[in-house]
A and B are shown apart, each in its own frame.
Chain A
Amino acid sequence: MKIFFKAFPRHLLLQFKMDIRERGTLLTYYLLPLVFYFIVGSVFVSINPASKQTLAFSMAIFAVTMGAVLGMPVPIVKMREAEVLRAYRVCGIPGFATLLVHAVSAFLHLLIVSVIILTTAPIVFGAGIPDSYAACFAVLVIVLFCNIAIGLLIGVTAKNQSTATLLAQAVFLPTVMLGGIMFPATMLPGALRTAGYIIPSTHAVRSFSGLAFGMNMESGAVLSLLILAGIGAAAAIVAALRFKAVSRA
Protein backbone atom coordinates (compact mmCIF):
# COMPACT_ATOMS: atom_id res chain seq x y z
CA MET A 1 0.00 0.00 0.00
CA LYS A 2 2.95 2.28 0.81
CA ILE A 3 4.39 1.66 -2.66
CA PHE A 4 0.98 2.38 -4.20
CA PHE A 5 0.76 5.83 -2.62
CA LYS A 6 4.31 6.66 -3.71
CA ALA A 7 4.08 5.25 -7.23
CA PHE A 8 0.55 6.34 -8.11
CA PRO A 9 1.19 10.13 -8.11
CA ARG A 10 4.31 9.58 -10.24
CA HIS A 11 2.38 7.40 -12.66
CA LEU A 12 -0.42 9.96 -12.75
CA LEU A 13 1.98 12.81 -13.54
CA LEU A 14 3.50 10.77 -16.38
CA GLN A 15 0.08 9.89 -17.76
CA PHE A 16 -0.96 13.54 -17.61
CA LYS A 17 2.16 14.46 -19.62
CA MET A 18 1.62 11.63 -22.10
CA ASP A 19 -1.97 12.76 -22.65
CA ILE A 20 -0.64 16.18 -23.62
CA ARG A 21 1.92 14.59 -25.99
CA GLU A 22 -0.85 12.59 -27.67
CA ARG A 23 -2.40 14.59 -30.52
CA GLY A 24 -5.72 12.70 -30.48
CA THR A 25 -6.20 13.19 -26.76
CA LEU A 26 -5.26 16.83 -26.96
CA LEU A 27 -7.85 17.32 -29.69
CA THR A 28 -10.75 15.69 -27.85
CA TYR A 29 -9.84 16.98 -24.39
CA TYR A 30 -9.00 20.57 -25.24
CA LEU A 31 -9.00 21.79 -28.80
CA LEU A 32 -12.38 20.63 -30.17
CA PRO A 33 -14.44 21.46 -27.06
CA LEU A 34 -12.85 24.91 -26.76
CA VAL A 35 -13.27 25.71 -30.47
CA PHE A 36 -16.87 24.53 -30.29
CA TYR A 37 -17.42 26.63 -27.17
CA PHE A 38 -16.10 29.77 -28.86
CA ILE A 39 -18.25 29.15 -31.96
CA VAL A 40 -21.39 28.51 -29.89
CA GLY A 41 -20.58 31.47 -27.64
CA SER A 42 -20.14 33.77 -30.63
CA VAL A 43 -23.01 32.57 -32.84
CA PHE A 44 -25.72 31.08 -30.61
CA VAL A 45 -25.70 33.86 -28.08
CA SER A 46 -26.35 36.49 -30.77
CA ILE A 47 -29.13 34.34 -32.29
CA ASN A 48 -30.75 33.56 -28.93
CA PRO A 49 -29.63 35.95 -26.16
CA ALA A 50 -31.51 33.82 -23.58
CA SER A 51 -28.94 31.06 -24.08
CA LYS A 52 -26.40 33.25 -22.27
CA GLN A 53 -27.79 31.99 -19.00
CA THR A 54 -26.96 28.36 -19.75
CA LEU A 55 -23.94 28.82 -22.03
CA ALA A 56 -21.20 28.28 -19.42
CA PHE A 57 -22.43 25.03 -17.90
CA SER A 58 -23.88 23.58 -21.10
CA MET A 59 -20.51 24.02 -22.83
CA ALA A 60 -18.73 22.57 -19.79
CA ILE A 61 -21.01 19.53 -19.98
CA PHE A 62 -20.31 19.30 -23.71
CA ALA A 63 -16.54 19.43 -23.12
CA VAL A 64 -16.67 16.79 -20.38
CA THR A 65 -18.87 14.48 -22.46
CA MET A 66 -16.73 14.88 -25.55
CA GLY A 67 -13.47 14.27 -23.69
CA ALA A 68 -14.68 11.37 -21.57
CA VAL A 69 -16.99 9.57 -23.97
CA LEU A 70 -15.26 10.26 -27.29
CA GLY A 71 -11.68 10.80 -26.14
CA MET A 72 -11.06 8.22 -23.42
CA PRO A 73 -12.21 4.84 -24.75
CA VAL A 74 -10.02 4.54 -27.87
CA PRO A 75 -6.68 5.03 -26.04
CA ILE A 76 -7.78 2.38 -23.50
CA VAL A 77 -8.64 -0.09 -26.27
CA LYS A 78 -5.40 0.81 -28.06
CA MET A 79 -3.49 0.09 -24.87
CA ARG A 80 -5.16 -3.31 -24.56
CA GLU A 81 -4.61 -4.15 -28.22
CA ALA A 82 -0.93 -3.16 -28.12
CA GLU A 83 -0.40 -5.33 -25.02
CA VAL A 84 0.67 -2.32 -22.95
CA LEU A 85 -1.35 -3.63 -20.02
CA ARG A 86 0.49 -6.98 -20.17
CA ALA A 87 3.87 -5.25 -20.41
CA TYR A 88 2.96 -3.10 -17.40
CA ARG A 89 1.64 -6.09 -15.48
CA VAL A 90 4.80 -8.21 -15.86
CA CYS A 91 6.82 -5.18 -14.78
CA GLY A 92 4.82 -4.97 -11.57
CA ILE A 93 2.25 -2.29 -12.41
CA PRO A 94 -1.23 -3.50 -11.43
CA GLY A 95 -3.78 -3.33 -14.24
CA PHE A 96 -6.38 -1.53 -12.14
CA ALA A 97 -3.80 1.16 -11.31
CA THR A 98 -3.21 1.77 -15.03
CA LEU A 99 -6.93 2.16 -15.58
CA LEU A 100 -7.31 4.39 -12.53
CA VAL A 101 -4.42 6.57 -13.66
CA HIS A 102 -6.13 7.01 -17.04
CA ALA A 103 -9.38 7.97 -15.36
CA VAL A 104 -7.83 10.43 -12.91
CA SER A 105 -5.67 12.00 -15.62
CA ALA A 106 -8.77 12.45 -17.81
CA PHE A 107 -10.56 13.91 -14.78
CA LEU A 108 -7.82 16.52 -14.33
CA HIS A 109 -7.67 17.48 -18.02
CA LEU A 110 -11.43 17.79 -18.28
CA LEU A 111 -11.60 19.69 -15.00
CA ILE A 112 -9.12 22.19 -16.44
CA VAL A 113 -11.07 22.64 -19.67
CA SER A 114 -14.36 22.95 -17.76
CA VAL A 115 -12.89 25.58 -15.44
CA ILE A 116 -11.61 27.50 -18.49
CA ILE A 117 -15.12 27.49 -19.96
CA LEU A 118 -16.93 28.30 -16.71
CA THR A 119 -14.60 31.19 -15.89
CA THR A 120 -14.25 32.73 -19.36
CA ALA A 121 -17.88 32.45 -20.50
CA PRO A 122 -19.16 35.27 -18.24
CA ILE A 123 -16.24 37.52 -19.22
CA VAL A 124 -16.11 36.84 -22.98
CA PHE A 125 -19.79 36.18 -23.77
CA GLY A 126 -21.60 37.69 -20.77
CA ALA A 127 -22.82 34.23 -19.72
CA GLY A 128 -24.57 33.55 -16.41
CA ILE A 129 -22.48 33.36 -13.23
CA PRO A 130 -23.06 30.54 -10.69
CA ASP A 131 -25.03 31.43 -7.56
CA SER A 132 -22.86 29.04 -5.62
CA TYR A 133 -19.32 28.26 -6.77
CA ALA A 134 -19.08 25.39 -4.28
CA ALA A 135 -22.25 23.81 -5.66
CA CYS A 136 -21.01 24.44 -9.19
CA PHE A 137 -17.75 22.63 -8.40
CA ALA A 138 -19.58 19.76 -6.68
CA VAL A 139 -21.90 19.28 -9.67
CA LEU A 140 -18.95 19.48 -12.05
CA VAL A 141 -17.13 16.75 -10.10
CA ILE A 142 -20.19 14.46 -10.26
CA VAL A 143 -20.64 15.17 -13.99
CA LEU A 144 -16.97 14.37 -14.57
CA PHE A 145 -17.22 11.16 -12.52
CA CYS A 146 -20.28 9.99 -14.40
CA ASN A 147 -18.91 10.65 -17.89
CA ILE A 148 -15.45 9.26 -17.14
CA ALA A 149 -17.03 6.09 -15.76
CA ILE A 150 -19.03 5.74 -19.00
CA GLY A 151 -15.85 6.33 -21.02
CA LEU A 152 -14.05 3.66 -19.00
CA LEU A 153 -16.91 1.24 -19.50
CA ILE A 154 -16.77 1.71 -23.27
CA GLY A 155 -12.97 1.39 -23.18
CA VAL A 156 -12.94 -1.93 -21.34
CA THR A 157 -15.98 -3.37 -23.12
CA ALA A 158 -15.22 -2.59 -26.77
CA LYS A 159 -13.37 -5.39 -28.53
CA ASN A 160 -11.46 -3.10 -30.88
CA GLN A 161 -10.94 0.54 -31.71
CA SER A 162 -13.67 0.77 -34.34
CA THR A 163 -16.24 -0.75 -31.94
CA ALA A 164 -15.10 1.72 -29.29
CA THR A 165 -15.56 4.63 -31.71
CA LEU A 166 -19.04 3.39 -32.69
CA LEU A 167 -20.12 2.89 -29.07
CA ALA A 168 -18.74 6.28 -28.11
CA GLN A 169 -20.65 7.97 -30.97
CA ALA A 170 -23.81 6.08 -30.00
CA VAL A 171 -23.56 7.56 -26.50
CA PHE A 172 -22.25 10.99 -27.47
CA LEU A 173 -24.73 12.01 -30.18
CA PRO A 174 -27.94 11.50 -28.14
CA THR A 175 -26.19 13.17 -25.21
CA VAL A 176 -25.65 16.32 -27.28
CA MET A 177 -28.98 16.23 -29.12
CA LEU A 178 -31.38 15.22 -26.35
CA GLY A 179 -29.67 16.38 -23.16
CA GLY A 180 -30.50 20.07 -23.38
CA ILE A 181 -26.95 21.17 -24.17
CA MET A 182 -27.58 22.68 -27.61
CA PHE A 183 -31.16 23.79 -26.97
CA PRO A 184 -33.61 23.46 -24.05
CA ALA A 185 -35.03 19.96 -23.63
CA THR A 186 -38.48 21.55 -23.41
CA MET A 187 -38.27 22.23 -27.17
CA LEU A 188 -38.06 18.48 -27.91
CA PRO A 189 -41.10 16.37 -28.90
CA GLY A 190 -42.66 14.44 -26.00
CA ALA A 191 -41.16 11.04 -26.78
CA LEU A 192 -37.64 12.38 -27.26
CA ARG A 193 -38.00 14.47 -24.14
CA THR A 194 -38.91 11.33 -22.17
CA ALA A 195 -36.00 9.45 -23.76
CA GLY A 196 -33.76 12.29 -22.64
CA TYR A 197 -34.34 11.33 -19.01
CA ILE A 198 -32.08 8.30 -19.36
CA ILE A 199 -29.24 10.46 -20.70
CA PRO A 200 -26.71 11.74 -18.15
CA SER A 201 -26.38 15.17 -19.78
CA THR A 202 -30.09 15.83 -19.13
CA HIS A 203 -29.44 15.37 -15.43
CA ALA A 204 -26.19 17.31 -15.66
CA VAL A 205 -28.08 20.30 -17.13
CA ARG A 206 -30.74 20.01 -14.43
CA SER A 207 -28.16 19.75 -11.65
CA PHE A 208 -26.18 22.77 -12.83
CA SER A 209 -29.34 24.83 -13.44
CA GLY A 210 -31.03 24.03 -10.18
CA LEU A 211 -28.13 23.73 -7.75
CA ALA A 212 -25.43 26.06 -9.07
CA PHE A 213 -27.09 28.67 -11.29
CA GLY A 214 -30.29 29.25 -9.27
CA MET A 215 -32.67 28.49 -12.13
CA ASN A 216 -36.08 27.04 -11.34
CA MET A 217 -36.39 23.42 -12.41
CA GLU A 218 -39.60 21.54 -12.96
CA SER A 219 -38.28 18.59 -10.95
CA GLY A 220 -35.64 18.16 -8.31
CA ALA A 221 -32.08 19.05 -9.21
CA VAL A 222 -30.85 17.04 -6.23
CA LEU A 223 -32.56 13.97 -7.63
CA SER A 224 -30.83 14.57 -10.97
CA LEU A 225 -27.49 14.84 -9.22
CA LEU A 226 -28.16 11.56 -7.41
CA ILE A 227 -29.13 9.92 -10.71
CA LEU A 228 -25.87 11.14 -12.24
CA ALA A 229 -23.86 9.76 -9.34
CA GLY A 230 -25.80 6.49 -9.58
CA ILE A 231 -25.15 6.14 -13.32
CA GLY A 232 -21.46 6.89 -12.72
CA ALA A 233 -21.17 4.38 -9.88
CA ALA A 234 -22.95 1.67 -11.88
CA ALA A 235 -20.75 2.28 -14.93
CA ALA A 236 -17.59 2.27 -12.79
CA ILE A 237 -18.55 -0.99 -11.06
CA VAL A 238 -19.43 -2.73 -14.35
CA ALA A 239 -16.19 -1.42 -15.92
CA ALA A 240 -14.15 -2.73 -12.97
CA LEU A 241 -15.83 -6.15 -13.09
CA ARG A 242 -15.41 -6.35 -16.85
CA PHE A 243 -11.75 -5.35 -16.58
CA LYS A 244 -11.15 -7.96 -13.88
CA ALA A 245 -12.73 -10.64 -16.05
CA VAL A 246 -10.67 -9.59 -19.10
CA SER A 247 -7.46 -9.55 -17.03
CA ARG A 248 -8.11 -13.03 -15.65
CA ALA A 249 -8.82 -14.47 -19.08
Chain B
Amino acid sequence: MNVPNEAVIRINGLFKRYGSVNAVNGISLKIGKGEVFGLLGPNGAGKTTTLECLEGIRRADGGILEIGGCDPQSDERSLRHILGVQLQSSSLPEGLRPAEAMSLICAWHGLPDRLDLLDRFGLTDQNRKQYRELSEGQKRRLHLALALACNPSAVILDEPTAGLDVQGRAQLHDAIRELKNSGVTVLLATHDMAEAETLCDRVAIMIKGRIAVVGSPAQVTASGNPDVRILLSTKNGCLQPGMNTGNARFLRQTDNYGVWLSADAASAVMELLKYVQAFSDTVEDLRVERPSLEERFLELVEGGTRR
Protein backbone atom coordinates (compact mmCIF):
# COMPACT_ATOMS: atom_id res chain seq x y z
CA MET B 1 0.00 0.00 0.00
CA ASN B 2 1.36 3.38 -0.98
CA VAL B 3 1.29 6.56 1.07
CA PRO B 4 -2.37 7.58 1.24
CA ASN B 5 -3.78 10.63 -0.49
CA GLU B 6 -6.43 11.30 2.12
CA ALA B 7 -4.43 11.35 5.34
CA VAL B 8 -6.48 11.19 8.56
CA ILE B 9 -3.45 11.19 10.84
CA ARG B 10 -0.48 13.42 10.02
CA ILE B 11 2.74 13.66 11.98
CA ASN B 12 5.32 16.13 10.75
CA GLY B 13 8.66 16.42 12.51
CA LEU B 14 7.39 15.31 15.92
CA PHE B 15 9.97 15.91 18.60
CA LYS B 16 9.77 15.03 22.29
CA ARG B 17 12.53 15.21 24.85
CA TYR B 18 12.65 13.91 28.45
CA GLY B 19 15.53 15.67 30.16
CA SER B 20 18.57 14.94 28.02
CA VAL B 21 16.94 12.03 26.17
CA ASN B 22 15.31 12.54 22.79
CA ALA B 23 12.38 10.14 23.10
CA VAL B 24 10.99 11.04 19.67
CA ASN B 25 13.41 12.56 17.22
CA GLY B 26 11.63 14.36 14.40
CA ILE B 27 9.45 11.63 12.96
CA SER B 28 6.96 12.19 10.12
CA LEU B 29 4.09 9.94 9.02
CA LYS B 30 0.83 10.09 7.11
CA ILE B 31 -1.88 7.52 7.76
CA GLY B 32 -4.83 7.28 5.40
CA LYS B 33 -8.56 6.79 5.84
CA GLY B 34 -9.44 3.17 6.58
CA GLU B 35 -5.79 2.21 6.88
CA VAL B 36 -4.49 -0.06 9.63
CA PHE B 37 -1.04 1.21 10.47
CA GLY B 38 1.31 -0.63 12.81
CA LEU B 39 3.87 1.19 14.90
CA LEU B 40 6.53 -1.30 15.93
CA GLY B 41 9.67 -0.98 17.95
CA PRO B 42 11.50 -2.29 20.99
CA ASN B 43 10.71 -0.98 24.47
CA GLY B 44 11.83 2.64 24.82
CA ALA B 45 11.74 3.29 21.06
CA GLY B 46 9.27 6.17 21.49
CA LYS B 47 6.08 4.48 20.30
CA THR B 48 3.97 5.24 23.37
CA THR B 49 5.29 8.81 23.56
CA THR B 50 4.34 9.32 19.92
CA LEU B 51 0.88 7.92 20.56
CA GLU B 52 0.43 9.98 23.72
CA CYS B 53 1.28 13.17 21.82
CA LEU B 54 -1.31 12.22 19.21
CA GLU B 55 -3.83 11.43 21.95
CA GLY B 56 -3.35 14.93 23.36
CA ILE B 57 -2.24 13.69 26.76
CA ARG B 58 1.44 14.60 26.34
CA ARG B 59 2.87 17.90 25.16
CA ALA B 60 5.12 17.66 22.13
CA ASP B 61 8.31 19.74 22.09
CA GLY B 62 8.16 20.28 18.35
CA GLY B 63 6.45 19.29 15.13
CA ILE B 64 2.94 19.38 13.73
CA LEU B 65 0.28 16.83 14.58
CA GLU B 66 -3.15 16.49 13.03
CA ILE B 67 -5.98 14.01 13.41
CA GLY B 68 -9.00 14.47 11.16
CA GLY B 69 -8.10 18.13 10.71
CA CYS B 70 -7.81 18.69 14.45
CA ASP B 71 -4.65 19.62 16.35
CA PRO B 72 -4.47 17.23 19.32
CA GLN B 73 -2.13 19.56 21.17
CA SER B 74 -4.47 22.54 21.20
CA ASP B 75 -8.00 21.29 20.56
CA GLU B 76 -8.53 18.39 22.93
CA ARG B 77 -12.28 18.86 23.12
CA SER B 78 -12.81 18.33 19.37
CA LEU B 79 -10.24 15.54 19.36
CA ARG B 80 -12.26 13.46 21.83
CA HIS B 81 -15.16 13.29 19.37
CA ILE B 82 -13.11 11.97 16.46
CA LEU B 83 -10.44 9.84 18.15
CA GLY B 84 -10.95 6.62 20.07
CA VAL B 85 -8.07 5.59 22.33
CA GLN B 86 -7.15 2.39 24.11
CA LEU B 87 -4.21 3.12 26.36
CA GLN B 88 -1.41 0.67 27.06
CA SER B 89 -2.15 0.78 30.77
CA SER B 90 -5.29 2.24 32.21
CA SER B 91 -8.06 1.36 34.56
CA LEU B 92 -11.57 2.30 35.60
CA PRO B 93 -13.02 2.74 39.07
CA GLU B 94 -13.20 -0.71 40.64
CA GLY B 95 -16.88 -0.50 41.48
CA LEU B 96 -17.96 0.51 37.96
CA ARG B 97 -19.93 -1.98 35.86
CA PRO B 98 -19.40 -2.31 32.06
CA ALA B 99 -22.82 -0.92 31.11
CA GLU B 100 -22.38 1.96 33.56
CA ALA B 101 -18.98 2.77 32.08
CA MET B 102 -20.45 2.79 28.59
CA SER B 103 -23.38 4.93 29.71
CA LEU B 104 -21.00 7.38 31.38
CA ILE B 105 -18.72 7.76 28.36
CA CYS B 106 -21.70 8.14 26.01
CA ALA B 107 -23.19 10.78 28.30
CA TRP B 108 -19.99 12.82 28.11
CA HIS B 109 -20.10 12.55 24.32
CA GLY B 110 -23.76 13.60 24.29
CA LEU B 111 -24.71 10.29 22.65
CA PRO B 112 -27.28 7.61 23.51
CA ASP B 113 -25.89 4.51 25.25
CA ARG B 114 -23.94 2.19 22.92
CA LEU B 115 -24.74 -1.10 24.62
CA ASP B 116 -24.38 -2.78 21.20
CA LEU B 117 -20.62 -2.34 21.60
CA LEU B 118 -20.66 -4.36 24.83
CA ASP B 119 -22.56 -7.04 22.99
CA ARG B 120 -20.08 -6.95 20.11
CA PHE B 121 -17.18 -7.54 22.47
CA GLY B 122 -18.94 -10.27 24.45
CA LEU B 123 -19.41 -8.19 27.58
CA THR B 124 -23.20 -8.21 27.89
CA ASP B 125 -23.06 -11.26 30.18
CA GLN B 126 -20.63 -9.43 32.45
CA ASN B 127 -22.97 -6.54 33.18
CA ARG B 128 -23.53 -7.52 36.80
CA LYS B 129 -19.80 -7.66 37.44
CA GLN B 130 -17.85 -4.71 38.75
CA TYR B 131 -14.62 -3.68 37.00
CA ARG B 132 -12.51 -5.35 39.70
CA GLU B 133 -14.22 -8.69 38.96
CA LEU B 134 -13.51 -8.68 35.21
CA SER B 135 -10.66 -10.74 33.79
CA GLU B 136 -7.73 -8.98 32.11
CA GLY B 137 -9.12 -9.86 28.69
CA GLN B 138 -12.58 -8.57 29.58
CA LYS B 139 -11.06 -5.32 30.84
CA ARG B 140 -9.14 -4.89 27.56
CA ARG B 141 -12.27 -5.55 25.53
CA LEU B 142 -14.22 -3.08 27.65
CA HIS B 143 -11.60 -0.37 27.08
CA LEU B 144 -11.77 -1.02 23.34
CA ALA B 145 -15.56 -0.84 23.39
CA LEU B 146 -15.34 2.48 25.26
CA ALA B 147 -12.83 3.78 22.72
CA LEU B 148 -15.39 3.17 19.98
CA ALA B 149 -18.28 4.77 21.85
CA CYS B 150 -17.95 8.13 20.07
CA ASN B 151 -18.02 6.60 16.55
CA PRO B 152 -14.47 7.80 15.95
CA SER B 153 -12.90 8.35 12.54
CA ALA B 154 -9.54 7.22 13.93
CA VAL B 155 -8.58 4.82 16.70
CA ILE B 156 -5.27 4.49 18.52
CA LEU B 157 -4.64 1.11 20.12
CA ASP B 158 -1.56 0.72 22.28
CA GLU B 159 -0.75 -2.99 22.61
CA PRO B 160 -4.42 -3.98 22.57
CA THR B 161 -3.86 -7.74 22.62
CA ALA B 162 -1.37 -7.83 25.50
CA GLY B 163 -2.73 -10.25 28.09
CA LEU B 164 -5.51 -11.58 25.87
CA ASP B 165 -6.12 -15.29 25.31
CA VAL B 166 -6.33 -16.75 21.80
CA GLN B 167 -10.08 -16.24 21.53
CA GLY B 168 -9.90 -12.68 22.81
CA ARG B 169 -7.09 -11.93 20.39
CA ALA B 170 -9.09 -13.32 17.46
CA GLN B 171 -12.14 -11.25 18.50
CA LEU B 172 -10.03 -8.14 18.66
CA HIS B 173 -8.47 -8.83 15.27
CA ASP B 174 -11.96 -9.23 13.80
CA ALA B 175 -12.99 -5.94 15.40
CA ILE B 176 -9.98 -4.17 13.87
CA ARG B 177 -10.84 -5.59 10.42
CA GLU B 178 -14.44 -4.40 10.87
CA LEU B 179 -13.18 -0.94 11.76
CA LYS B 180 -11.03 -0.87 8.66
CA ASN B 181 -13.96 -1.99 6.49
CA SER B 182 -16.09 0.81 7.88
CA GLY B 183 -13.44 3.37 6.96
CA VAL B 184 -11.97 3.94 10.42
CA THR B 185 -8.24 4.60 10.54
CA VAL B 186 -6.43 2.41 13.05
CA LEU B 187 -3.02 3.21 14.49
CA LEU B 188 -1.78 0.16 16.32
CA ALA B 189 1.30 -0.17 18.50
CA THR B 190 2.24 -3.76 19.11
CA HIS B 191 5.10 -6.07 19.99
CA ASP B 192 3.40 -8.92 18.19
CA MET B 193 4.97 -9.09 14.73
CA ALA B 194 2.61 -11.80 13.50
CA GLU B 195 -0.31 -9.56 14.47
CA ALA B 196 1.21 -6.61 12.62
CA GLU B 197 1.93 -8.76 9.56
CA THR B 198 -1.65 -10.07 9.49
CA LEU B 199 -3.56 -6.89 10.29
CA CYS B 200 -1.59 -3.92 9.09
CA ASP B 201 -1.62 -2.33 5.65
CA ARG B 202 1.59 -0.55 6.53
CA VAL B 203 4.02 -0.66 9.41
CA ALA B 204 6.78 1.59 10.67
CA ILE B 205 9.63 0.32 12.82
CA MET B 206 10.81 2.89 15.36
CA ILE B 207 14.24 2.66 16.89
CA LYS B 208 15.63 5.19 19.36
CA GLY B 209 13.01 7.81 18.52
CA ARG B 210 13.42 7.59 14.75
CA ILE B 211 11.60 5.68 12.06
CA ALA B 212 13.99 3.10 10.68
CA VAL B 213 11.73 1.79 7.94
CA VAL B 214 8.14 2.24 6.77
CA GLY B 215 6.05 0.36 4.22
CA SER B 216 3.75 -2.62 3.82
CA PRO B 217 4.81 -5.65 5.88
CA ALA B 218 5.99 -7.29 2.64
CA GLN B 219 7.99 -4.20 1.64
CA VAL B 220 9.57 -3.90 5.07
CA THR B 221 10.47 -7.58 5.10
CA ALA B 222 11.89 -7.39 1.57
CA SER B 223 14.00 -4.35 2.47
CA GLY B 224 16.18 -6.54 4.68
CA ASN B 225 18.29 -9.60 4.13
CA PRO B 226 16.81 -11.23 0.96
CA ASP B 227 17.92 -14.77 1.79
CA VAL B 228 15.20 -17.41 2.04
CA ARG B 229 15.60 -20.46 4.24
CA ILE B 230 15.43 -23.93 2.70
CA LEU B 231 14.75 -26.82 5.05
CA LEU B 232 15.27 -30.30 3.64
CA SER B 233 14.91 -33.70 5.26
CA THR B 234 15.82 -36.94 3.42
CA LYS B 235 15.22 -40.58 4.30
CA ASN B 236 18.90 -41.64 4.45
CA GLY B 237 20.36 -38.27 5.35
CA CYS B 238 22.52 -38.13 2.22
CA LEU B 239 23.19 -34.41 2.49
CA GLN B 240 26.13 -33.90 4.80
CA PRO B 241 26.09 -31.03 7.32
CA GLY B 242 28.21 -28.18 5.99
CA MET B 243 27.61 -29.04 2.35
CA ASN B 244 27.18 -25.99 0.09
CA THR B 245 25.96 -25.82 -3.50
CA GLY B 246 26.35 -23.01 -6.02
CA ASN B 247 23.30 -21.15 -4.71
CA ALA B 248 22.69 -22.67 -1.26
CA ARG B 249 24.82 -21.88 1.78
CA PHE B 250 24.56 -24.38 4.62
CA LEU B 251 23.36 -22.76 7.84
CA ARG B 252 22.76 -25.49 10.41
CA GLN B 253 21.38 -28.94 11.10
CA THR B 254 18.11 -28.97 13.08
CA ASP B 255 16.76 -32.41 14.05
CA ASN B 256 16.49 -34.27 10.72
CA TYR B 257 16.53 -31.08 8.69
CA GLY B 258 19.43 -29.44 6.97
CA VAL B 259 18.95 -25.68 6.73
CA TRP B 260 20.39 -23.65 3.83
CA LEU B 261 20.22 -19.95 2.99
CA SER B 262 19.87 -18.68 -0.54
CA ALA B 263 19.06 -15.51 -2.44
CA ASP B 264 17.83 -17.64 -5.37
CA ALA B 265 15.49 -20.18 -3.85
CA ALA B 266 14.45 -21.91 -7.09
CA SER B 267 18.01 -22.64 -8.24
CA ALA B 268 19.12 -23.70 -4.78
CA VAL B 269 16.23 -26.15 -4.40
CA MET B 270 17.00 -27.63 -7.82
CA GLU B 271 20.65 -28.09 -6.88
CA LEU B 272 19.80 -29.75 -3.56
CA LEU B 273 17.30 -32.10 -5.21
CA LYS B 274 19.92 -33.10 -7.78
CA TYR B 275 22.22 -34.17 -4.92
CA VAL B 276 19.42 -36.19 -3.33
CA GLN B 277 18.76 -37.90 -6.65
CA ALA B 278 22.46 -38.55 -7.21
CA PHE B 279 22.71 -40.37 -3.84
CA SER B 280 19.49 -42.34 -4.60
CA ASP B 281 17.95 -40.88 -1.50
CA THR B 282 14.31 -39.82 -1.00
CA VAL B 283 13.00 -36.41 0.07
CA GLU B 284 10.89 -36.65 3.24
CA ASP B 285 10.10 -32.96 3.63
CA LEU B 286 11.06 -29.75 1.87
CA ARG B 287 10.17 -26.26 3.05
CA VAL B 288 11.06 -22.81 1.74
CA GLU B 289 10.61 -20.00 4.25
CA ARG B 290 10.77 -16.34 3.37
CA PRO B 291 12.15 -13.96 6.03
CA SER B 292 9.40 -12.86 8.40
CA LEU B 293 8.64 -9.36 9.65
CA GLU B 294 9.92 -10.48 13.03
CA GLU B 295 13.29 -11.42 11.54
CA ARG B 296 13.50 -8.09 9.73
CA PHE B 297 12.57 -6.34 12.98
CA LEU B 298 15.29 -8.15 14.91
CA GLU B 299 17.75 -7.44 12.12
CA LEU B 300 17.03 -3.73 12.43
CA VAL B 301 16.94 -3.65 16.21
CA GLU B 302 20.05 -5.74 16.72
CA GLY B 303 21.86 -4.12 13.79
CA GLY B 304 22.80 -7.42 12.20
CA THR B 305 21.52 -10.61 10.66
CA ARG B 306 19.61 -13.07 12.80
CA ARG B 307 18.45 -16.17 11.03
Residues on A lying within 8 angstroms of B by beta carbon are: 2-3, 6-7, 10-11, 14, 17-18, 21-22, 79, 82-84, 86-87, 89-93, 97, 248
Contacts and interface: CB of A to CB of B under 8 A. Distances in A.
B302 interface: no
Contact of A92 (B93, B94, B109): B109
B194 to A, nearest CB: 27
A146 B90 CA distance: 32
A91 B107 CA distance: 11
A103 to B, nearest CB: 15
B90 A87 contact: yes
A87 B96 contact: no
23 contacts: A2-B110, A7-B104, A7-B110, A14-B96, A14-B103, A18-B96, A21-B130, A83-B87, A84-B90, A84-B91, A87-B90, A87-B92, A87-B146, A90-B57, A91-B80, A91-B146, A91-B147, A92-B105, A92-B108, A92-B109, A93-B105, A93-B108, A248-B59
A248 B74 CA distance: 12
A249 to B, nearest CB: 9
A83 B105 contact: no
Contacts of A14: 96, 100, 103-104
B91 A87 contact: yes
B150 interface: yes
B143 interface: yes
Q: Tell me what chain A mostly uses at the interface: helix, strand, loop, or mixed.
A: helix
Nearest to B91: A82
B204 interface: no
B110 A10 contact: no
Given A3-B109, A14-B104, A84-B90, 20 more contacts: A7-B108, A7-B110, A10-B103, A10-B107, A11-B104, A14-B96, A14-B103, A18-B93, A18-B96, A21-B130, A22-B95, A83-B91, A84-B91, A87-B92, A89-B57, A90-B85, A90-B87, A91-B105, A92-B108, A93-B108
Contacts of A3: 107-110
Contacts of A89: 57
Nearest to B86: A90
B149 interface: yes
B55 interface: yes
A83 B90 contact: yes
A44 to B, nearest CB: 35
Interface residues of B, number: 29
Contact of A91 (B59, B91, B95, B149): B149
A14 B95 CA distance: 10
A87 B107 contact: no
Contacts of A10: 103-104, 107
A93 B85 contact: no
A84 B150 contact: no
Contacts of A84: 90-93
A99 to B, nearest CB: 13
Contacts of B130: 21
Nearest to A21: B95
B167 interface: no
Q: Which of B55, B91, B109 has the most CB of A within 10 A?
A: B91
A22 B94 CA distance: 8
Contacts of A93: 104-105, 108
Q: Which of B55, B96, B107, B110 has the most CB of A within 10 A?
A: B107
Nearest to A247: B57
A83 B96 CA distance: 15
A18 B103 CA distance: 14
Contacts of B85: 90-91
Contacts of A97: 108
Contacts of B93: 18, 79, 84
Contacts of B143: 87
Contacts of B103: 10, 14
B89 interface: yes
B208 interface: no
B81 interface: yes
Contacts of B90: 82-84, 86-87, 90
B89 A83 contact: yes
Q: Which of A14, A86, A90, A97 has the most CB of B within 10 A?
A: A90
| Leading 5 A-B pairs by shortest Cβ distance | A87-B90, A21-B95, A92-B80, A90-B85, A82-B91
B57 A6 contact: no
Contacts of A21: 95, 130
B81 A92 contact: yes
A79 B91 CA distance: 8
A242 to B, nearest CB: 18
A90 B55 contact: yes
B153 to A, nearest CB: 14
A72 B147 CA distance: 29
A83 B143 CA distance: 13
Interface in B134-177: 143, 146-147, 149-150
Given A7-B107, A93-B104, A93-B108, A86 B92 contact: no
